[in-house]
Amino acid sequence: MKNIIRIQSNEVAVVKADNWIISEEDHDALGSCEILPMKAWLARIKQGDDVNPALWIDVDDDAMELQDVIEKLSFICVFFEDFKDGRGYSTAYLLRKRLNYQGELRAFGDVLRDQLSLMRQCGFDSFAIKEGKDPYDATKGIKGLSVTYSGSVSQPNPLYRRVRR
Amino acid sequence: MYRYDEYDRALVNERVEEFRDQVARRMNGELTEDEFLPLRLQNGLYLQKHAYMMRVAIPYGALSSDQVRGLAVIANKFDRGYGHFTTRQNIQFNWIELADTPDILAHLASIDMHAIQTSGNCVRNVTTEAYAGVAPDEEYDPRIFAEIIRQWATVNPEFLFLPRKFKIAVSSSQEDRAAVRMHDIGLYLYRDKEETLRFQVMVGGGLGRTPFLNKAVKDDLHWSEVLSYIEAVLRVFNRYGRRDNKYKARIKILVNSLGIGDFREEVEAEWQLIRGSFSTLTEDELSRVASQFLSPLYSTLDDANLEYGHHVTSNSEFAAWVSRSVKPHKVKGYASVAISTKFPTNTPGDLTAEQMQCIADLADAYGFRVIRITHEQNLVLPDIPKEYLFNVWESLCEVGLALPNVGLVSDMIVCPGASYCNLATAHSFPVAKKVAAAYSIEEQLEVGDISINLSGCINACAHHHIGNIGILGLNKSGEDYYQITVGGAQGKDSQIGKVIGPAVSEELLPVVVKNITNAYLANRNDKETFHETFLRIGLEPFKLAAYESAGA
């Protein structure tokens, strides 16, 4: 994958490209860096195959199907077909809060600078910025506003539980 | 009146600078229009027929006199000297330059206002009724929870790209004056037998192409759990709401396709997993917000005021205005004043900067510096001592705002229509004006209280479905036509109106509307309202009368 921004212990790093490859569908002789679609990955697991601890979630996939296998995963990518489709935010919430997923969570597809702080608050810690956009420029979108009223994945307490107003 | 603290202020100021940067990037081509679109919408900026339009939030319809003056400054400096108050407690400026928008937002921030989430597929301005805090039939001030929900929904990261827009309204009085039933979430706040505050939660209302009133999903939600419950509704909507068709994307479609029972189960299951945790409201937070909405320090006044009584008996014009505009107040000796922005002297919802100044001055002189906006596009001075009502009237006369027509035929609710709006299929203002002009004030008084709502397109910004008489502008091969519904009603017994027959031309519309009100006059018993008569006799008599001598 290309145009990567990763956040690790509050440090932001830009990686021009890593070895991971998104596979559109399952096939024979999977490489060690291939990321299968969630449904294909689940089918492999069901067969008892030994697969990469990585998958990608499509816009209409239900992340809750990973409930029983979440501990086998250390890298999950969530596809944004269109940045205006907000399902990926709830997907991230469910993975982090309901399934307690601790691994890397990457947004890819139509991923743009102006949504990064929102994605980060929902639990993403890794972004593959849309091709053609400058990932260094996109890092400016990570910080966001200093005040948030509601709670979120990254800050579970709403403002009224965080500060004395 | 809610005043920003350092956190509120920091948020709106940072948001202005964020948008300033986004506008600059749009103007130098770094952002495409497609990428910029939701950013500008979520900052209140629409692109209309002739120019950009900025929609500014007036949370729960409450404004201070300084804020009204600030809006007047924007109207003069950045627009053409006026603004348009909408049916959802916003104000719109119609003639805006893109390059000016960051400065307008900065000006708004300086008066504790913003345009955040006044558009876009997110939680919009949380509304309530204009008489909150002063209505005699109120159980609890609904603005307190409207503000708490507003804060929770503002830049809440998970819910900014919903399938479609999402509107929340709160009411806590005997009579629902906030049109709660047509909201995506409508909240009725009440006290139970133990005096505990609880919500009845209604979900799935909305007008537009497929009008629905919302349905009860929870009858006894404890006040402290209102945010987690809304979160559960929004998460279900965000995950399962349709995204393939704009007209089927509102939560009303999801509620009705699942059925209210299954929908309730989905929400309940989600809610059980998140309730009782971080988003439970605290007593501290409730009292902090509530302390911002304390009543002003009212004087001890007599219920009757001699001078006021004298003016009423000796000045028939003043008396006529009083009978329509002066509303009851919970405190002895005080009244609320409704100010009509309507025909014939005004355009519905429009106020000039000069008129805004006048209203701000009146609020300063007599009314604790507060002003309210109604969803009928009128303004309210909520706290006027009766002894000053005559002074208020005299000043309003000078700026053409003393119309004695509140609640009457000519107090129509009208969207801007094809004169401004890209979405509109027909004209609204000029057509509504002709309908209003078909009635003398005597005829209007004979008809009495009635709601006539005219929308210039199916999106129903003027809420035509819940008008006693609803008018919808359509376009048939280049000509404006108007479809009429009868029997709509707002309030706790809301109803969606029924279509009476073929749409009529602009020319015939006033005749047909008058035929309908004449049918009401001919059929009403004693003091029946239009809606009561409709409920008793049904649609047929109105249908039959409507097209008489209209040749349609």
In this complex, do B285 and A112 lie within 8 Å of one another by their Cβ atoms?
Answer: no
In this complex, do A84 and B38 lie within 8 Å of one another by their Cβ atoms?
Answer: yes
HEC secondary structure over B155-175: CCHHHCCCCCCECEEEECECC
Give B-chain residues touching A83 at CB under 8 angstroms: 35, 38, 161
Q: What's at B445, amino acid-wise?
A: L
Q: Which of B31, B123, B156, B275 to mutate to test the interface with A (most CBs of A within 10 A)?
A: B156
CA Rg value for chain A = 16
Res B467 pLDDT > 80: yes
DSSP A133: S
Read off the tokens for A25: 């569908």
Nearest to B208 by CA among B493, B464, B428, B495: B464
Question: Average model confidence (pLDDT) for chain B?
Answer: 96
DSSP secondary structure of B91-115: EEEEEE-GGGHHHHHHHHHHTT---
Beta strand pairing call for A104-109 and A126-128? parallel
Residues contacting residue A130 through CB under 8 Å, at least 6 positions apart? A3, A109, A110, A111, A112
Spatial contact of B162 and B184, defined as CB atoms under 8 Å apart: no
Give B-chain residues touching A150 at CB under 8 angstroms: 151-154, 156-157, 227, 279
**Burial class for B383, CB neighbours closer than 10 Å (0-12, 13-18, 19+):** buried
Residues of B with CB under 8 A from a CB of A: 5, 7-8, 10-11, 14-15, 18, 22, 31, 35, 38-39, 121, 151-162, 227, 235, 238-239, 243, 273, 277-279, 281-282, 284-285, 288
Give residue-wise pLDDT tens across range A103-122.
999 999 999 999 999 999 99
Domains of chain B plus CATH, in order, are 6-68+81-110 (no CATH), 142-292 (3.30.413.10), 306-398 (3.90.480.20), 413-546 (3.30.413.10)
Q: What is the pLDDT of residue B477?
A: 87
Give residue-wise pLDDT tens across range B54-76.
999 999 999 999 999 999 999 99
Give residue-wise pLDDT tens across range B253-277.
999 999 999 999 999 999 999 999 8
Give the H or E element holding residue B252.
helix B251-258
Q: Is B499 helix (H, G, I), strand (E, B) or coil?
A: strand
In this complex, do B11 and A150 lie within 8 Å of one another by their Cβ atoms?
Answer: no
Give B-chain residues touching A114 at CB under 8 angstroms: 22, 31, 35, 39
Res B447 pLDDT > 90: yes
The closest CB to that of A122, out of B5, B38, B157, belongs to B157
Average pLDDT on B37-63 reads 95
Q: Is B154 helix (H, G, I), strand (E, B) or coil?
A: coil
How far is residue B140's CA from residue B133's CA, in Å, rounded to a whole number?
Answer: 8
Res A3 pLDDT > 60: yes
Average pLDDT on B326-339 reads 96
For residue B219, the distance in angstroms to the closest alpha carbon of chain A comes to: 25
Each as own residue / partner, the long-range contacts of residues A40-44 (CB below 8 Å, 24 or more positions apart, any chain) are A42/A66, A42/A69
Vertex A118 angle, CA A112 and A119, to 5°: 70
Bond prior to B541 in cis (omega within 30° of 0)? no
Give residue-wise pLDDT tens across range B487-512.
999 999 899 999 999 999 999 999 99
Nearest to A63 by CA among A84, A39, A45: A39
Residues contacting residue B494 through CB under 8 Å, at least 6 positions apart? B176, B179, B181, B182, B213, B466
Q: What is the pLDDT of residue B548?
A: 86
Residue of chain B whose alpha carbon sits nearest to that of A91: B239
What is the percent of chain B with per-residue pLDDT over 70, rounded to a whole number? 99
- Model-level pTM? 0.95
Beta strand pairing call for A75-80 and A54-57? parallel
Phi then psi dihedrals of residue B241, to 5 deg: -65, 145
In this complex, do B121 and A84 lie within 8 Å of one another by their Cβ atoms?
Answer: yes
Give A-chain residues touching B282 at CB under 8 angstroms: 160-161
How far is residue B549's CA from residue B20's CA, in Å, rounded to a whole number?
Answer: 58
Q: What is the pLDDT of residue A29?
A: 86
The closest CB to that of A146, out of B14, B22, B273, belongs to B14
Residue-level length of chain A:
165
Residues contacting residue B97 through CB under 8 Å, at least 6 positions apart? B51, B52, B78
Spatial contact of B93 and B77, defined as CB atoms under 8 Å apart: no
In this complex, do A98 and B151 lie within 8 Å of one another by their Cβ atoms?
Answer: no
In this complex, do B152 and A114 lie within 8 Å of one another by their Cβ atoms?
Answer: no
In this complex, do A146 and B121 lie within 8 Å of one another by their Cβ atoms?
Answer: no
Q: State the complex-level ipTM.
A: 0.98
Read off the tokens for A47: 């067969």
Residues contacting residue B310 through CB under 8 Å, at least 6 positions apart? none
In this complex, do A90 and B35 lie within 8 Å of one another by their Cβ atoms?
Answer: no
DSSP secondary structure of B364-394: HHHSTTEEEE-TTS-EEEEEEEGGGHHHHHH
Provide the pLDDT confidence category of residue B49 given band limits of 50, 70 and 90. confident
In this complex, do A158 and B227 lie within 8 Å of one another by their Cβ atoms?
Answer: yes
Residue-wise over B533-551: b if at least 16 C-beta within 10 A, else e?
Answer: bbeebebebbbebbbeebe
Phi then psi dihedrals of residue B423, to 5 deg: -80, -25
Q: What is the pLDDT of residue B551?
A: 57
Residue of chain B whose alpha carbon sits nearest to that of A154: B157
Give B-chain residues touching A147 at CB under 8 angstroms: 7-8, 10-11, 14
Res B38 pLDDT > 70: yes
Residues contacting residue A69 through CB under 8 Å, at least 6 positions apart? A42, A45
Q: Is A79 helix (H, G, I), strand (E, B) or coil?
A: strand
How far is residue A152's CA from residue B154's CA, in Å, rounded to a whole number?
Answer: 12
Give residue-wise pLDDT tens across range B384-442.
999 999 999 999 999 999 999 999 999 999 999 988 888 899 999 999 999 999 999 99
For residue A8, the distance in angstroms to the closest alpha carbon of chain B comes to: 20
Q: Is A131 helix (H, G, I), strand (E, B) or coil?
A: coil
Res B550 pLDDT > 70: no
